[in-house]
Amino acid sequence: MQTPLEHTYAAAVPELSVPWPAEKPPRPEIVWLNEELARELGYDPQQLRSEDGIALLTGQIDGTVAQAYAGHQFGTPNPQLGDGRAVLLGERVDPAGRRHDLHLKGAGRTPFARGGDGKAPLGPMLREAVIGEWLHALGVPTTRALAVVSTGEQIAPRQGVTPEPGALLLRVAASHLRVGTFEHAAWHLDPEVRERLVEYTLTRHHPSADGPLALLDAVTGAQAELVAQWMLAGFVHGVMNTDNMALSGEGIDYGPCAVLDEHRRGAVFSSIDRGGRYAYGNQPGIALWNLSRFAETLVELIDPGQPNSAVDAATEVLEGFEARYLEAHARGLARKLGIPSASSEEVRGLGDDLFVLLEQQTVDHTMFFRALAEGGAEGLFNESDPYRAWVSRLEPLRGGDGQADDAAAAMLNANPIYIPRNVHLDAALRAAHLGDLEPVRVLLDAVSDPFTRRTGLEHLEGPGNGGEHFLTFCGT
């Protein structure tokens, strides 16, 4: 394919990857190609459908590597993780000069496979594609799928006994540098390697920052912004282990993720999160916990001769996370509520009471905000008086008639109609498993343009039946 991929990460820190080829799938076939993203990357979609294109999409190229990383999984350190069933194909520099990782999931066993077969099933690969396109359409920093390719083989099932169709996902990311990457380096490699890793991360993602403390500050700010947007969207990542926190500030690894129907702080949809560690309302606190683990990997580099001073400096950065998160959340909430200008304290107070009210009256998170934008939210509440009292506090913050009209129009572009609701996404993935891809394509179309109501998509607007008891499984 035209311009070859680059390999700056493998060259800068070769200690953190292993040259490794992707297995050749027996009968590859493109299930879904993200033509918009292909063009952004400078690829011709038609060329990607050619023989050379299929070779790229299935990793049949030189220079692929499996990346090493570690991580805290559900709070417990695991010193050796890594790309167990994936390879980094390389880096694509798009026409605008932005560098992207191309990363292939389901590519077969690697040295980090830990007993797995290295394969991936079709359903979870499509799930990651749908979630990524939805978040991207909302303006939330996220990895995205360039393509989902069926492999033409049946693989061992992740649940049950029936074999599943195998698939590959070609994921595009700003990079795959994670908190877990730094944990691996801190636990296994010497300071000189860690210094190179810091410099590479700064150059690639935070070029205006200088040094490990500034890197911690930049990543802290990026994560505060990201998690605030997740919370406003009603998104539950489901497995916020440190190896799933990208230093670029993008969301990554959408395995047992889900979205809220009814607004509930304690919502958990992951079958493996039995203690609710990664519940919806816990996500900001978990982000700070992960950042604290990141800070621990940097202490020796922040001030090699004065560890106590380094800890104090890192702690000061971490203590600023809450304010940065609250500011980002208030800014986004003001847009969703149609408030053109107000203090963060006013917006936060209004928001805190709103979310309590939504939970008390089991109101749908997404439907409320969209109905508010369209002027019909009161009908969602079982008891209207508390809602009316809340609205009486909102209205003065929305300004005069001119301001309120502009804000109301902006609200329609801030509050989606379509989200990948649990029941609808699960039904679409089940259909794909049985060979019917049309429901997934319809859902992808809906969530890729989530603010525009279209005829024929009415069934995707509501939550469906059984969403509150829905469980997802770690399949990606």
Sign, CA torsion 40/44/49/55: negative
Q: Measured in Å, how far apart are the chain's first and last C-alpha atoms?
A: 27
Question: Which residue do the tokens 């380094």 mark?
Answer: 310
Neighbouring CB atoms inside 10 A of 380's CB total 17
Whether 364 is a known active-site residue: answer no
Catalytic entry in 83, 243, 261, 364: 243
What is the distance between the alpha carbons of residues 369 and 363, in angstroms, rounded to a whole number? Answer: 10
Task: Please list the active-site residues.
Answer: 243
